[in-house]
Amino acid sequence: MIAWPDRRVPADPEQAASKIEAAFARASRGELVEIGCFGGLGRTGTVLACMAVLAGVAPEEAVAWVRRNYDARAVETPAQEDWVLWFSDRALRAPTETR
């Protein structure tokens, strides 16, 4: 679980980023990982865009990729779009073995 108010960004960005990276690592190992929020668009879409970055989608294309492949309404606010870029900068600076 990530403390994340509706239509906003995570309350604790570092903790959220670590949890997203851990979930991606689990999924990469073939484990079942579920991503969801009440509406399934803003927070869910934002996490999916972050995971797309971890999977190799260019950060500036991640939100569009999620909107094409998941739901056109995903990632609901400009702040969420900006958070994907913040996440990607953080994740891509980190050593690969910590992801």
Domain positions in the chain: 13-21+33-93
**Domain 13-21+33-93 sits in CATH 3.90.190.10:** yes
CA distance 63 to 71: 10
Beta-carbon contacts of residue 74 (< 8 Å; ≥ 6 apart)? 41, 42, 44, 45, 46, 48, 49, 63, 66, 67
- Report the mean per-residue pLDDT for the chain: 93
Band of pLDDT at residue 99, cut at 50, 70 and 90: very low
User: How much of the chain exceeds pLDDT 90, in percent?
Assistant: 90
Residue 42 pLDDT level (bands cut at 50, 70, 90) = very high
C-alpha to C-alpha distance for 47 and 39, rounded to whole angstroms: 13
Q: What is the pLDDT at residue 95?
A: 63
pLDDT at residue 41 in the model: 95
pLDDT greater than 90 at residue 4: yes
